[in-house]
Amino acid sequence: MSRKLVSSGSYLEPVIGFSRAVRVGNIVAVGGTAPIKAEGGTAAIGDVYGQTRRCLEIIAKALTDAGSSLEHVTRTRIILTDIALWKDAARAHAEAFATVRPVTTLMQVTAFVDPDWLVEIEVDAVIPD
């Protein structure tokens, strides 16, 4: 079975030694995706909704690069530094997945690598045969 590595160009990929997404067969896994602007730095500082939208944009591109799309997503994990802000993250998630309706977990962590990040998202996708 072939293995395809997808990079998003994040400055952290070579530092940590990871790929944004990995496709093996018809399975695509997208790792913890932070709200990094295309030109670097953090998108939507202080805005969980805006950061969640940016994470989902990066994820959508990674899925496309892996030959998949948001419609193939079966699981999402929304990871927040403040669970009280879950509704803002959920609103952006619902906009992206209104018809897909993957299983989802919302959780809180104490911090991310960059203190400006309020959210990271992971997804798993299965591409139909």
Residues 42-92: tens digit of each pLDDT: 999 999 999 999 999 999 999 999 999 999 999 999 999 999 999 999 999
Tens-place pLDDT, residues 90-127: 999 999 999 999 999 999 999 999 999 999 999 999 99
In this structure, the strands spanning 73-80 and 103-108 are parallel
What's 34's DSSP letter? -
- φ, ψ for residue 50, nearest 5 deg: -60, -40
For position 12, what pLDDT does the model report? 84
Nearest to 106 by CA among 84, 68, 75, 77: 77
- pLDDT of 88 reads 98
How many CA within 13 A on the CB side of residue 102?
23
